[in-house]
Amino acid sequence: MVQSSTSSGTFRLRPLLFIATVVAVAAVAFAYTAGWLSPHRLTPKKIVAGLAPPGGPALGHRRNHAKGICFTGTFEANGDGSALSRATVFARGQYPVVGRFNLATADPNAADAMVRVRGIGIRITTPDGQEWRMAMIDAPIFPVSTPQSFYELLTASGSKDPDAMKKFVSAHPEFPTFVGWAKSAPWTGSYAEERYNSLDSFLFVDSTGATHPIRWSIVPTAQPVPISPDELAKRGPDFLEQEITQRVAAGPQRWTMVVTVANPGDPIADPNKAWPSDRRTVAVGTLTVQQIEPERDGPCLNINFDPTVLPSGITTSDDPFPAARSAAYSRSYNSRTAEASYYPGTATGAKQ
Amino acid sequence: MTTSRKRFTAPQRLLHWLMAICILSMLFIGVGMVSTVTPKYLTLVQIHKPLGIAILVLALIRLALRFVYKAPALPPDLPEPIKLAAELSQYVLYALMIGMPLIGWGMLSAASYPVVLFGSVHLPSILPVSPSLHTLLWRAHHYLAFAFFAFILMHVAAILFHKLIRNDGVFEAMAPVLTRNQPK
């Protein structure tokens, strides 16, 4: 069956060169795809590294929103969301929730009064096994307009150059809008008194297949009581966790989920731009927080509140942030789970 | 496990080339998606999961066909070390084709992610949520992906060696169509 082997002693260079070329071209294409030949590509690794404080990240913890506390509860849909989205989570009914109140800081031991932005992570599970995960903050807009600008903000704020932030601000006129909120908005003394916003725009897909660009918020039923950061500092570095634990133990805390529908022409792709306040809103249900649990051994510890984990009926929009957040959250999750032994008190990891 | 046939059967050849496209795409998608934060990231992840499961299913079908139809014998004049390498590499490739999707599935399960294939279709979790298990599987998935690509490069180099230097019929055994200078 063999027609010809190499005639002995003849070294055939050309086919060997051809083989080497094929292998080399494939290897270079692979390296290019992996970003090894593109040092300027914005990677999840760069964003996560940019979040780290000068002394390095807190091992075993989320790379941002590192300080937090778990909760469980329910989302009770009133059925009104079904006109906008066919997701089962909007069908009238009650669905279990695991969530996490948190502070937007890379330091899990930060004092509450030192952190301006507060957040909430929520996972709603429907009986068909689908999940809707979200991570929202109490700011009404995001500090910048694009993931690239966010990376530049991280780089500037961590820079030793005293003019770095000044340069950043002059190049990003959208940033002062956020600073204006940070400086003027009242602080509260409770996670339960905050309104949390999706900021990013998503698309709701209705039963006819039509898409509706939306954002959503959860609006507290608790009355916000303003408090100065100084007063909050006096109550102790971990006051917010103590307060929410006592508050929920005394009675469940509720938020109304309100969906805002964009008008044509509203900025979908830029979470730094608020939509006009007269946009149509639909209250779609109620989030009830029933039990608080410490993060250590708590049900939220091993959950990545990746905002792109969406049920059928909700998709991402032209907003570039959810993809960037998903990529960065994933890297953060991979890092912190590999460092689980550093997480205080959980040598063997947490229960589910 | 050999047959007197000179070539793999048509279904085996079809599966081989279909899977070659799937697996190469898969490796490029995988290495590309973890290096970007653009919206391409989500698109690539959404392809990666169902394609991985498709490869798992195809690999199992292919393994069954291999047991039924077996493989053509290697040329008798092939030096023993090369014969051994050829046979071992097939075990490795089958192990990777079946193992990588399972490791990926297990990794997502151990991290408490839903394994969404498309729309509302998702797979059950196959492992308990565990940071240590997730870390083990994530590392395996990561390093084995590079090993897989390296193996494919060797596989390509080897088959080109068979075709261009030895011209011994090994390439023709799996070629999608018969080339003109096929061995007698």
Determine, yes or no, domain membership for A62. yes
ipTM: 0.93
Question: Which residues of chain A are under the pLDDT cut of 50?
Answer: 1-9, 347-352
Residue A249 domain boundaries? 56-139+185-342
pLDDT value for A2:
42
| Cβ-defined contact of A333 to B111 (cutoff 8 Å) | yes
The secondary structure of chain A, three-state, reads CCCCCCCCCCCCHHHHHHHHHHHHHHHHHHHHHCCCCCCCCCCHHHHHHHHCCCCCCCCCCCCCCCEEEEEEEEEEECCHHHHCCCCHHHCCEEEEEEEEEEECCCCCCCCHHHCCCEEEEEEEECCCCCEEEEEEECCCCCCCCCHHHHHHHHHHHCCCCCCHHHHHHHHCCCHHHHHHHHHHCCEECCHHHCCEECCCCEEEECCCCCEEEEEEEEEECCCCCEECHHHHHHCCCCHHHHHHHHHHHHCCEEEEEEEEECCCCCCCCCCCCCCCCCCCEEEEEEEEEEEEECCCCCCCCCCCCCCCCCCCCEEECCCCHHHHHHHHHHHHHHHHHHCHHHCCCCCCCCCC
Distance CA B96, CA B150 (A): 12
The reported pTM is 0.94
List, as ranges, residues 55-94 from B with C-beta within 8 Å of A: 75, 77
Taking phi over 0 as left and psi of -120 to 50 as alpha, with beta for the rest, A263 belongs to beta
**Which residues are registered as beta bridge partners of B118?**
B121
Determine, yes or no, domain membership for A1. no
Q: Which domains does chain B have, with CATH numbers?
A: 2-174 (1.20.950.20)
pLDDT value for A301:
97
Task: Count CB neighbours of A326 within 10 A.
Answer: 23
- Give the angle A102-A286-A261 at the CA atoms, nearest 5°: 90
| B83-132 pLDDT tens trace | 999 999 999 999 999 999 999 999 999 999 999 999 889 999 999 999 99
pLDDT value for A128:
95
| A302-348 pLDDT tens trace | 999 999 999 999 999 999 999 999 999 999 999 999 999 999 875 44
pLDDT value for B179:
63
Determine, yes or no, domain membership for A9. no
pLDDT value for B37:
97
Q: Which residues of A touch B164 (CB under 8 A)?
A: 12, 15, 18-19
Domain count, chain A: 1
| A39-70 pLDDT tens trace | 999 999 999 999 999 899 999 999 999 999 99
Full pLDDT tens readout for chain B, 184 residues: 688 899 999 999 999 999 999 999 999 999 999 999 999 999 999 999 999 999 999 999 999 999 999 999 999 999 999 999 999 999 999 999 999 999 999 999 999 999 999 988 999 999 999 999 999 999 999 999 999 999 999 999 999 999 999 999 999 999 988 765 554 4
Distance CA B138, CA B117 (A): 19
pLDDT value for B121:
93
Q: Write the burial class of residue B81 (CB in 10 Å: 0-12 exposed, 13-18 middle, 19+ buried).
A: exposed
Give the nearest chain A residue to B156 (CA atoms). A23
B111 shares contact with chain A (CB less than 8 Å): yes
Determine, yes or no, domain membership for A311. yes
Determine, yes or no, domain membership for A48. no
| Cβ-defined contact of A350 to B131 (cutoff 8 Å) | yes
Determine, yes or no, domain membership for A26. no
pLDDT value for B181:
54
pLDDT value for A10:
62
Q: Phi and psi for A98 in degrees, rounded to 5?
A: -120, 135
Determine, yes or no, domain membership for A191. yes
Q: Which of A12, A15, A22 sits opposite B156 (nearest CB)?
A: A22
Which of A5, A21, A132, A144 has the highest number of chain B CBs within 10 A, making it the mutation to test binding with B?
Answer: A5
Tell me, what CATH number does A231's domain have?
2.40.180.10
Q: Which two tokens stand for residue B61?
A: 């079908």
Fill in the DSSP letter of residue B166. Answer: I
* CA distances for A222 relative to A137, A184, A218, B127, angstroms: 17, 21, 12, 40
